[in-house]
A and B are shown apart, each in its own frame.
Chain A
């Protein structure tokens, strides 16, 4: 009994339930993606699933196209979001907190419904639904994820550094490129990750925004799990593994600042 109590007393053990939970529901499932990707429905080892992907033109093209769309969306979000974050953090707004809240508030309306409303807006102005609508819709959905981390790092920035740079003779542009921009890179990194990750993996938004005219990589994965039989699961797992690889590489580059991706809270 005292032994049990002493285990409970050392608070280290309090994390054990969560560790068990993580192993069972995070690590094991990811391991299963690996297993399914390298096996056939009978459970034998095979590379067929990857061969199938790399030899299907449509699949490879969809993959490249999705990457391009995701990158373009991320760049546009960065170009639109950085100035917004900068203005919010530096300009003397009467209520900066309210402004920041206003950018988050739309997220309380279900994103599918917002996307559908965007579709209706396009219809009202008779703008055809296609690539342009897709990119607009994605930027629309994920712009707040770019603004917020950048806003956070800019706000925490030591403003006396800017004054010091001015005092030492830097002009406005130099202050921005040599002081403000380098100091805000952690926010930019996490903003890029927070926009790129969901855009490269989305499936519902593209389906709704283009009325199924454009297929993205995420939709390809979803179809492999939705409509096909057992065989498709293994193929879908292989596609998921490819996406996992991209996510891993992206987050590795963004790893420099793990803390600010948490600042979205």
Chain B
């Protein structure tokens, strides 16, 4: 009798745990549903030709065709050329800024790592300022700097601004690699006759490069997604990144429909990349 009641108790507990798990998981899926609803909307409506999002006028690949040919055959108009300029500038700025940030940040990380406590703290504090500062303040402070120095704003100022907010993350990604590294191997290379540059390239780089790579990728992500800093440092010379292009477009009223297929493609690419990375990581674990 007692035994069976214990059994019932155990079964009850098991059922409770199961219910809890189902609830927990459905909560996560509900959040993800809300998170992805607008994205699904963008992707779905990239397959229709209506001017505004949310107005379904039949399935077609027309927008994709327009995006790649730059010409709308039916309406006989060109796709807004600024879309392509801004896409090109987005990529250019991201690549250049990420490259500079990675070089500057890696050198800085090595330097900071070899500093005494005091100097180290001071630089780490300065390094954290661009990360804490919201984009509008970074943008405005740099805007004032360029005005103050009489530098006309354009591509260069945008790239400098992006290096400002990307480099701190590179420093932070490279630092842990330095901590893990044996500090003596660099000295050993010098003792064995390597120049500092050779020692850097052949001894330190192989140890540091995973950190540099993640700093680089993060920089690209941050740069592509930035709006506030670019907005204040791009000047009025017609330079646009995708962010500022979308902002200007939305303020004018209509959003260029070809943005829908463009971002659907970007999203799908990222999704596939993530799946591949995860799949490979899982395989390596085995």
The docked-state distance in angstroms from the alpha carbon of A102 to that of B134 is: 25
Pair A19/B123 contact, Cβ less than 8 Å: yes
Contact of B232 among A120, A225, A251 (CB under 8 A): A225
Complex CA–CA separation, A202 to B190 (angstroms): 50
Is A25 touching B142 in the complex (CB atoms < 8 A)? yes
Q: Mark B6-42, 1 if CB is under 8 A from A, else 0.
A: 0000000000000001001101100110111111011
Asked if A22 contacts B126 (CB within 8 A), the reply is yes
Q: Is the interface of B mostly helix, strand, loop or mixed?
A: helix
Q: How far is the CB of B87 from chain A (nearest CB, A)?
A: 11
Size of interface on A: residues with Cβ below 8 Å to B: 86
Taking a contact as CB atoms under 8 Å apart, the answer to whether A14 and B271 are in contact is no
Question: Which of A54-62, A157-165, A180-188, A236-244 contacts its partner?
Answer: A236-244
CB distance from B64 to the nearest CB of A (A): 17
Residue of A nearest to B171 (CB): A18
Complex: chain B residue closest to A201, CB-CB: B134
Question: 1/0 per position for A234-264, CB-CB distance to B under 8 A?
Answer: 0011001001100100010000001001100
Q: Which of B36, B41, B242 contacts A120 (CB 8 A)?
A: B41
Binding stretch for chain A, among B65-73, B74-82, B91-99, B105-113: B105-113
**Cα(A217)–Cα(B27), bound, Å:** 34
CB contact under 8 A between A201 and B107, given known A258-B128, A265-B172: no
Structural contact, B243 and A9, CB atoms closer than 8 A: no
B270 interface residue (CB < 8 Å to A): yes
Q: A91-B25, A112-B250, A203-B136 are in contact. Are A261 and B167 (CB under 8 A)?
A: no
A32 within 8 A of B: yes
Proximity string of chain A (90-118) to chain B, C-beta cutoff 8 Å, 1 when within and 0 when not? 01110101110111011111111110111
Using Cβ atoms and an 8 Å threshold, which residues of chain A touch B104?
17-18, 21
Q: Chain B: which residue is nearest A259 at the CB level? A: B172
CB-CB under 8 A for A26 and B27, given A9-B196, A109-B267, A110-B242: no
| Cβ-defined contact, B54 with A120, below 8 A | yes
Candidates B27, B129, B259, B274; contact of A105 at CB < 8 Å = B274
Whether a CB of chain B sits under 8 angstroms from the CB of A78 is no
B62 within 8 A of A: no
A179 within 8 A of B: no
Binds B, one of A44-52, A80-88, A127-135: A80-88
Question: Is A68 on the interface with B (CB-CB < 8 A)?
Answer: no
Pick the contact of B38 from A114, A143, A237 — CB < 8 Å? Answer: A114
B235 at the interface (CB under 8 A from A): no
B binding-site residues for A, Cβ under 8 Å? 21, 24-25, 27-28, 31-32, 34-39, 41-42, 52-54, 104-105, 107-108, 110-115, 119, 123, 126-137, 140-145, 147-148, 160-161, 163-164, 167, 169, 171-173, 186, 190, 196, 214, 218, 221, 224-225, 227-228, 231-232, 242-243, 246-247, 250-251, 255, 259, 263, 266-267, 270-271, 274, 278, 281
Can you pick out 13 interface pairs between chain A and chain B where the beta carbons lie within 8 Å of each other? A19-B108, A22-B127, A25-B163, A29-B144, A98-B278, A107-B221, A108-B270, A117-B42, A123-B54, A140-B35, A204-B228, A225-B232, A233-B147
